[in-house]
Amino acid sequence: MQNENIKLEDLLSKTKSNQVENNTINNVAIIGAGLMGQGIAHTIAAAGLDVMIIEKDNEHLEKAKFDLAESIDREIKRWAITKSEKKSILSRIKWELSLKKVIDYDLIIEAVDEDFRLKQLIFMELDSIAKPDTIFVSNTSTLSLTKLAETTSRSEKIIGMHFLHPVPKIPLVELVKCIHTSNNTVDLVREFAARIGKTPVEVYEYPGFVTTRAIVPLLNEAMYILLEGVATASDIDTAMRLGYNFQYGPLEMADMMGLDEVLAWMETLWKTLGEPRYRACPILRKLVRERKLGQKTGEGFFKYDENGKKI
């Protein structure tokens, strides 16, 4: 009888071990090959995991391939990585045009524009294609994960990972748990975040979470200071960098994030929270109308060369 108990315990232990092993995230698909999608893919591939990027058409896909290679080349010039490391990173990244390719992936990260309806449609389509145990991640910084989760049949496997730009260099990621997210999903994604070199900070679902909600008023106020003629853009950034030990000034930071993205964050926070500090400065709206979106278009509050370096 004792031997039977030992065998039963051994069997249960082995089964549990196999379950843990099966729950390990071995490959990742990313929907959207913009700046954030490229940065996330770069980070994951550099950590030794296979990653697939899916874009909506060949034009955007080819541009993303070129931009990612160029970004890594700039790192090589700064001696941050080697040519062999570049080759290793790019060899782990696949490029595709169809969402149907996600069928065998353990984790899917959505990194498209901050548009709720677009994200909703993507999650609904992915839900009908992906494995039942696949975890869905949204990189949203302001939208409701709970509402996104409720459009799928796997709401307990929906979680947010809010990466910050530039993803390979920022060691932080916010893990955002919606009402339905299971503790098992949180544990697996927390482990995944650590594997790719990120320090995860768990936050409750709320517009802007921690980082976006805190940084947006600072960016907005710097823009109002510029609009009111208190100081030049360069002097505003110098004051904040030297006075508060910031790596970048708030206006250059906004340019790096993409002024269209910053405006989208402000509009969502203004709409959902209704607080004046989130009401976008007119100078930001003007720049976005003129398609002066910052570093990615070569001009925003500052001008940039073809390598994204401030002129």
Q: What is the mean pLDDT of the chain?
A: 91
Residue 78: the pLDDT is 86
All CATH 3.40.50.720 domain ranges of the chain, comma separated, are 19-204
User: How confident is residue 92, by pLDDT bands cut at 50, 70 and 90?
Assistant: very high
Backbone angles phi and psi of 170, in degrees to 5: -90, 120
Residue 236: the pLDDT is 98
**Residue 292, amino acid:** K
Residue 3: the pLDDT is 46
Task: Give residue-wise pLDDT tens across range 141-150.
Answer: 888 899 999 9
Task: Give residue-wise pLDDT tens across range 23-41.
Answer: 689 999 999 999 999 999 9
CATH code linked to domain 212-297? 1.10.1040.10
pLDDT at 247 > cutoff 50: yes
How far apart, in whole angstroms, are the C-alpha atoms of residue 306 and residue 283?
24
Task: Give residue-wise pLDDT tens across range 263-304.
Answer: 999 999 999 999 999 999 999 999 999 999 999 999 999 999
The residue to which tokens 């900070």 are assigned = 201
pLDDT at 18 > cutoff 60: no
Q: Which of 212, 226, 219 is nearest to 268 (CA)?
A: 212
All CATH 1.10.1040.10 domain ranges of the chain, comma separated, are 212-297
Q: Which of 49, 138, 123 is nearest to 92 (CA)?
A: 49
User: How confident is residue 165, by pLDDT bands cut at 50, 70 and 90?
Assistant: confident
Task: Give residue-wise pLDDT tens across range 179-203.
Answer: 999 999 999 999 999 999 999 999 9
Q: Three-class SS string for the chain?
A: CHHHHHHHHHHHHHHHHHHHHHCCCCEEEEECCCHHHHHHHHHHHHCCCEEEEECCCHHHHHHHHHHHHHHHHHHHHCCCCCHHHHHHHHHCEEEECCHHHHHHCCEEEECCCCCHHHHHHHHHHHHHHCCCCCEEEECCCCCCHHHHHCCCCCHHHEEEEEECCCCCCCCEEEEEECCCCCHHHHHHHHHHHHHCCCEEEEEECCCCCCHHHHHHHHHHHHHHHHHCCCCCHHHHHHHHHHHHCCCCCHHHHHHHHCHHHHHHHHHHHHHHHCCHHHCCCHHHHHHHHCCCCEHHHCECCCEECCCCCEC
**210 contacts: CB under 8 Å, gap ≥ 6:** 174, 201, 203
Q: Has domain 19-204 been given CATH number 3.40.50.720?
A: yes
Helix axis angle for 83-91 and 35-46, nearest 10°, is 100
Residue 23: the pLDDT is 66
Task: Give residue-wise pLDDT tens across range 195-238.
Answer: 999 999 999 898 889 999 999 999 999 999 999 999 999 999 99
pTM of the prediction?
Answer: 0.84
Mean pLDDT, rounded, for 110-138: 95
